[in-house]
């Protein structure tokens, strides 16, 4: 496996880039909330709202998950082996939350719809874990 990060400054640089991107996404989300009228902007406003929310949540969850993994594996193994896992799980959490909000915004949210969305994401995570386990053997 190729090492993408070989120096501690690479870790800091990576966190700064992802952190700034996440702050930019949160800024875009706040701008959409304050500057767009949902009745006038139509589907563009909704797309901007959900896209900026998704990116902000995914970035935040990634920073939290990857930071936690760095603290847990400090000095034990290459901490950047879990970048793909952190990214995948942060995207899935962001899909879950923004998807639930999208369903609620369209008056389609119910316990079974949320359960179906959660079950689909759990199934997808199991699929990735099985693929990852199969490729490591």
Question: Both ends of the chain: CA-CA distance in Å?
Answer: 13
Q: Are 72 and 79 in contact (CB under 8 A)?
A: no
Residue 1 lies in a domain: no
pTM given for the model: 0.83
Question: 3-state DSSP call for residue 91?
Answer: helix
Q: Which helix (H) or strand (E) holds 124?
A: helix 111-136
- What is the per-residue pLDDT across 95-124, written as a single tens digit (0 to 9) for each? 999 999 999 988 988 999 989 999 999 999
Tally of residues, the chain: 137
Residue 68 lies in a domain: yes
- What is the per-residue pLDDT across 7-39, written as a single tens digit (0 to 9) for each? 556 777 888 999 999 999 999 999 999 999 878
Residue 44 lies in a domain: yes
For the chain, how many structural domains are there in total? 1
């Amino acid at each position: 496996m190729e090492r993408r990060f070989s120096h501690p400054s690479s870790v800091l640089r990576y966190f700064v880039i992802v952190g700034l991107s996440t702050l930019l996404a949160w800024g875009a989300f706040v701008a959409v909330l304050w500057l767009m009228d949902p009745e006038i902007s139509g589907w563009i406003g909704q797309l901007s709202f959900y896209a900026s929310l998704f990116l902000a949540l995914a970035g935040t969850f990634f920073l939290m998950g990857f930071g936690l993994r760095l603290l847990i594996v400090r000095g034990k193994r290459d901490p950047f082996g879990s970048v793909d896992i952190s990214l995948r799980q942060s995207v899935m959490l962001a899909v879950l939350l923004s998807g639930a909000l999208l369903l609620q915004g369209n008056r389609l949210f119910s316990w079974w719809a949320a359960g179906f969305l959660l079950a689909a994401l759990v199934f997808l995570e199991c699929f990735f874990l099985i693929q990852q386990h199969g490729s490591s053997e």
